[in-house]
Amino acid sequence: MKCSQVRRKLSAYLDGEVSERDKKEIDGHLEQCKGCQEELAALSSVSDSLGIMAGMEPPSYFMTRVRQCIREEVKPRPFLGKVRSIVFSAATAFAVVLSLIIGNQVGRILYQSVAATGESQTAETTDVFGVGTLDEFPAGSLSDIYNELVAGGNNG
Amino acid sequence: MTIIGTTEDTDGHLIHLAANGDEQAFERIVHKYQHAVFNTIYRYTGSREDVQDLAQEIFIKVWRNAAKFKGKSKFSTWLYRIVANHCINYRRGRRKDHVSLDELTEKGITPESLRVEPDWETGRKVEKVRKAVDELPDRQRMALVLSQFEGRSYKEIAEIMKVSLSSVETLIFRARSSLRQKLAKVV
């Protein structure tokens, strides 16, 4: 093994994670190579210095906290959960279809009634705003004078 | 019902009982693994304040997903996978609000995790080591914590992190090489 190959494996070598064959090769290389020995010492020193990082103990009440949480959890039984899910889906689909049918019927009824009242309203509108009605302006009003002028113009 | 000290009292059996709503079985799991979970979270995040909340979230996740454990891997591997994913997601979420350690130091704020020990020299070393570990990329840090502190084998780390064995080797090698440079003056 070359130095570059050995150095890439030194970390795993330190952790005892190389194959027997690699271990023998690395051992043999290290006996002869001072540079790789120093590299190994440096990596080993890094591992040692990490040991300074303390861990953290769980507080005594942690279990109580977790227990409270899981008791608050509602855990439906698998079968009931599935049935509930199917019933909910079916009910939702039924509600959507029903609302479409009702909406369609209501829309149709409204359209028909509007169409019926629309015809009579058109007739009334003609009566109210018909030309005959608009002809009768108060005597002397601007509209009356205009009408007379127009009528005179037409006649003569 | 759990039977202590028999072959039935295995992690797989306990988690199966927990999946069927056995709180006592679940508590045995929590009791057995809470130290490992706390230590992994703390060494990975470096945040003493958040460890309890994260550990609680992880155990709740275990409780909710107990039925999903099929016994294809060791229970500890399955649990560490939940821990690793939860921690990495937590860190990624926090990075949005990230304030560098240098900025904190400039403002005179020392995070709990960096608070110096009574022994000033030791405290200074701890601070530097924590800072160096904190600066490692997520996956390098997780692989290093699982190997160095939790004593997990490379094979198990590969299963936990869902990567190849050679990737684990590279992650840990890079983590150590990086730490070696950063800690040159401390070591």
Question: What span, in angstroms and rounded, lies between the C-alpha atoms of B113 and B111?
Answer: 5
Question: What span, in angstroms and rounded, lies between the C-alpha atoms of B16 and B81?
Answer: 18
Number of CB pairs, chain A paired with chain B, less than 8 A apart? 108
Encoded amino acid at B180, one letter: R
A58 to B133: CB separation less than 8 angstroms, yes or no:
no
Q: Please name the residue that has the structure tokens 């294809």.
A: B72
Encoded amino acid at B2, one letter: T
Residue A7 has pLDDT above 50, yes or no: yes
A69 to B60: CB separation less than 8 angstroms, yes or no:
yes
More confident position, B47 or A78: B47
Residue A52 has pLDDT above 80, yes or no: yes
A66 to B56: CB separation less than 8 angstroms, yes or no:
yes
| Chain A residues within 8 A of B42 when measuring between CB atoms | 55-56
Q: Which residue of A has its CA nearest to B129?
A: A50
pLDDT above 70 as % of chain A:
79
- Max CA-CA distance within chain B? 57
CB count within 10 Å of CB B48 equals 14
Question: What span, in angstroms and rounded, lies between the C-alpha atoms of A81 and B110?
Answer: 49
Give the confidence band of A54 by pLDDT, cuts at 50, 70, 90.
confident
Closest CA to A57 of B119, B152, B53, B34: B34
Q: Which of A88-92, B47-51, B154-158 has the highest mean pLDDT?
A: B154-158
Residues A70-109 have pLDDT tens digits of 888 755 555 666 677 778 888 888 888 898 889 888 888 8
In the prediction, which pLDDT does B123 show?
79
Question: What span, in angstroms and rounded, lies between the C-alpha atoms of B130 and B46?
Answer: 7
B176 to A63: CB separation less than 8 angstroms, yes or no:
no
pLDDT above 70 as % of chain B:
80
Tell me the pTM.
0.66
- In degrees to the nearest 10, what's the CA dihedral of A50, A54, A56, A57? 130
| Chain A residues within 8 A of B183 when measuring between CB atoms | 46, 49
Q: Which residue of A has its CA nearest to B150?
A: A55
> Is the distance from CB of B160 to CB of B169 less than 8 angstroms?
no
Residue B154 has pLDDT above 90, yes or no: yes
Q: Please name the residue that has the structure tokens 């019926």.
A: A116
Helices (H), chain A: 3-14, 20-32, 34-50, 62-72, 78-128, 131-135, 142-155
In the prediction, which pLDDT does B1 show?
44
Is the torsion defined by CA of A129, A133, A138, A143 positive or negative?
positive
Encoded amino acid at B81, one letter: R
Residue A122 has pLDDT above 60, yes or no: no
Q: Which residue of B has its CA nearest to A46?
A: B180
Question: What span, in angstroms and rounded, lies between the C-alpha atoms of A98 and B86?
Answer: 45
Residues B88-133 have pLDDT tens digits of 999 887 755 554 444 545 545 455 544 545 566 777 888 889 999 9
More confident position, A127 or B62: B62
